[in-house]
C-alpha cells in the first residue's frame, strides 16, 4: 500500500458558481439543500428548461471582480479561479509551475456577442491572455500552459495530466482550472439531441428525463509533496490526488457504451493506482439521461463498487461541462474536510438495471476517500481518487 505523501497534494482549491463564489459558499449552499437550477426560456426552445446560470447581478459581480476591458465571461472565470487558488496556495507561478485549463467550448458565446472578432473564439488565445495576466500579477516569468478539451471528462483529464506531470518531475506545481459558460449555442446543441429536461434533473431515478446544464469555474493547485513549501499545522486535513485513469469505448459520437465496461476499467485502474484503502463514497457523473445513468450503474457493478454510497451533484450544480470534473471534485473535497456526505436530490426509486447504493439523505460521518467518475461524448471515461489524511 502506498504512503499518501507519495501523491500530489491539493494545496488549494476554489469554485465559482451560481451557488457561490467560493468552494465553501457552494458547499454550504448544497448542505442547506439549495440548488443553482432555475427555469430559463429561449425562443428556440419549445418549452422552458432548467439550468444553473449566473444571474444578472452575479454577472455584474464577475465584471467588477475582473474589470479588464474586452474580456469575455470565460476569460473572467479562468482569471478569478486562478487568482484565488494561487493566493491561497502560497506558491508563486515560476518556471516550475504548470498551468492546465480544461474547457469544452471556451468563449464560444462570442459568436453571439461579437461575431466580427473571431480571435476571441480561439481557446488558446483566450487562455494565453489570462495566464499572461496572472503571471504579470505575480511579477514572474510567463509559465507554460496546456489546454485540455476532451468533452465532459476535460476537468478530470486535466487533473490526471497535472498529477502525471508532477510525478514525472516536469513541474513542482500544477495549477488546474476548469471553466465553461452557458449560452444559446450550447443550449441549442443539447436541445437538438433532445437531452434537456424541463424539470430539475433526477439522476438514476426511474422518472429521470434529461440533463440540466450549468456554468461556472473551479480550480485546484497540485503540488509535489516532497517539495512542501511550508509545514502543515497539526490536525489539519491534507488532501491527495491518489489515482486517475481514462479510457475510451469508441461507441458513438454522443451515446455512451451500453455495457459500462470501459468506465469500469477506468475505475479499476484509478483504484489500483491509489491502493490506499476502502472508499467512503462515489461521486458519479449522473447526468440523469436514460443511457448515461444506466451505463454508469453497470460500470459500478462491473468494477465491484456497487456497495459504496453514490451520489450525483448535478441536481445542485447542473452539468458545467469542462468545469464539471473539477467543480464536483472540489465539492467532494469539502465533503471530506467537513465529514458531510451529500445526497442526490430528487432521487426516490432506482431506474437502472443494476444495483445502486444511492445516498438519499445528508449524513455526517468520518470520511477519508472518494472516487469521482465522468463520461463524455465520443465514448471517453475518467475516474480519479482522492484521500484525506490528518497531519500529526
pLDDT at 1: 44
Number of Cβ atoms within 10 Å of the Cβ of 194: 8
119 vs 246: which has the higher pLDDT = 246
pLDDT at 266: 98
pLDDT at 361: 97
When pLDDT is averaged across residues 102-112 and rounded to a whole number, the result is: 87
Distance, first Cα to last Cα, the chain: 20
Mean pLDDT of the region 336-343: 98
**Is the sign of the CA dihedral 287, 174, 53, 378 positive or negative?**
negative
247-270: burial string, b at 16+ Cβ within 10 Å, e else = bbbeeeeeebbeebbbbbbbbbbb
Q: Are 9 and 223 in contact (CB under 8 A)?
A: yes
Return the pLDDT at 141: 57
Structure-model confidence comparison of residues 115 and 162, the more confident one = 162
Domains and CATH numbers, the chain: 6-227 (3.40.47.10), 237-390 (3.40.47.10)
Q: Beta partners for 386?
A: 241, 370
Average of per-residue pLDDT across 321-337: 98
Query: In terms of Cα–Cα distance, which of 167, 181, 151, 113 is closest to 254?
Result: 151
- Model confidence, pTM: 0.95
Range in 160-169, 219-228, 278-287 the model is least confident about: 219-228
Q: How confident is the model at residue 61 (pLDDT cuts 50, 70, 90)?
A: very high
State residue 255's pLDDT score.
76
Residue 230 has pLDDT above 50, yes or no: no
- 276: pLDDT confidence band, cut at 50, 70 and 90? confident
Among 378, 345, 350, residue whose Cα is nearest residue 293: 350
pLDDT (average), residues 249-271 = 90
Q: At residue 355, does pLDDT exceed 60? A: yes
Note whether 221 and 12 are within 8 A (CB): yes
Q: Which grid cell is 326?
A: 473539477
Q: Look at residue 228 in the predicted model and tell me its pLDDT.
A: 55
Residue 109 has pLDDT above 90, yes or no: no
Band (214; pLDDT cuts 50, 70, 90): very high
More confident site: 113 or 373: 373
What mean pLDDT do residues 219-226 have?
A: 89
Q: What is the pLDDT of residue 227?
A: 60
d(CA 385, CA 243): 5
Confidence of residue 229 (pLDDT cuts 50, 70, 90): very low
- Residue 226's pLDDT is what? 66
Strands 213-214 and 9-16: unpaired
Question: Please, are residues 37 and 18 in contact by the beta-carbon 8 Å criterion?
Answer: no
Tell me what pLDDT residue 3 has.
47
Average pLDDT over residues 324-341: 98
Q: How many angstroms separate the CA atoms of 148 and 151, rounded?
A: 9
Picking from 247, 245, 344, 229, the residue whose alpha carbon sits closest to that of residue 287 is 344
Amino acid at each position: 500500500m502506498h504512503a499518501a505523501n507519495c501523491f500530489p497534494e491539493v494545496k488549494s482549491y476554489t469554485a465559482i458558481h451560481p451557488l457561490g463564489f467560493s468552494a465553501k459558499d457552494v458547499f454550504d449552499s448544497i448542505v442547506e439543500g439549495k440548488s443553482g437550477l432555475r427555469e430559463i426560456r429561449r425562443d428556440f426552445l419549445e418549452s422552458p428548461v432548467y439550468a444553473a446560470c449566473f444571474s444578472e447581478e452575479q454577472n455584474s459581480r464577475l465584471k467588477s471582480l475582473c474589470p479588464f476591458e474586452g474580456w469575455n465571461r470565460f476569460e473572467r472565470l479562468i482569471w478569478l479561479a486562478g487568482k484565488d487558488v494561487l493566493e491561497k496556495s502560497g506558491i508563486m507561478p515560476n518556471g516550475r509551475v504548470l498551468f492546465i485549463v480544461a474547457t469544452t467550448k471556451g468563449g464560444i458565446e462570442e459568436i453571439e456577442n461579437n461575431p466580427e472578432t473571431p480571435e476571441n473564439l480561439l481557446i488558446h488565445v483566450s487562455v494565453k491572455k489570462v495566464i499572461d495576466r496572472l503571471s504579470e500579477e505575480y511579477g514572474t516569468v510567463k509559465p507554460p500552459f496546456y489546454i485540455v478539451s476532451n468533452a465532459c471528462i476535460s476537468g478530470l483529464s486535466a487533473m490526471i495530466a497535472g498529477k502525471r506531470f508532477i510525478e514525472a518531475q516536469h513541474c513542482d506545481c500544477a495549477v488546474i482550472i476548469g471553466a465553461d459558460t452557458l449560452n444559446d449555442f450550447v443550449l441549442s446543441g443539447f436541445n437538438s439531441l433532445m437531452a434537456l429536461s424541463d424539470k430539475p434533473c433526477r439522476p438514476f431515478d426511474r422518472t429521470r428525463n434529461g440533463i440540466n446544464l450549468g456554468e461556472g469555474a473551479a480550480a485546484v493547485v497540485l503540488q509535489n509533496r516532497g517539495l512542501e513549501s511550508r509545514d502543515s499545522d497539526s490536525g489539519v486535513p491534507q488532501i491527495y490526488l491518489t489515482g486517475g485513469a481514462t479510457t475510451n469505448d469508441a461507441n458513438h459520437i454522443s451515446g455512451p457504451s451500453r455495457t459500462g465496461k470501459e468506465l469500469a476499467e477506468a475505475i479499476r485502474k484509478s483504484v489500483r493506482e491509489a491502493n490506499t484503502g476502502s472508499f467512503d463514497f462515489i461521486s458519479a457523473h449522473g447526468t440523469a439521461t436514460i443511457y448515461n445513468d444506466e451505463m454508469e450503474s453497470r460500470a459500478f457493478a462491473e468494477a465491484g463498487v456497487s456497495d459504496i454510497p453514490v451520489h450525483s451533484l448535478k441536481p445542485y450544480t447542473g452539468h458545467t461541462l469542462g468545469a464539471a470534473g473539477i467543480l464536483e471534485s472540489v465539492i467532494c473535497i469539502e465533503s471530506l474536510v467537513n465529514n458531510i456526505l451529500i445526497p442526490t436530490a430528487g432521487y426516490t426509486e432506482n431506474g437502472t438495471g443494476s444495483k445502486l447504493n444511492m445516498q438519499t439523505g445528508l449524513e455526517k460521518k468520518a470520511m477519508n476517500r472518494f472516487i469521482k467518475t465522468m463520461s463524455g461524448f465520443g465514448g471517453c471515461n475518467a475516474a480519479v481518487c482522492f484521500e484525506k489524511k490528518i497531519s500529526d
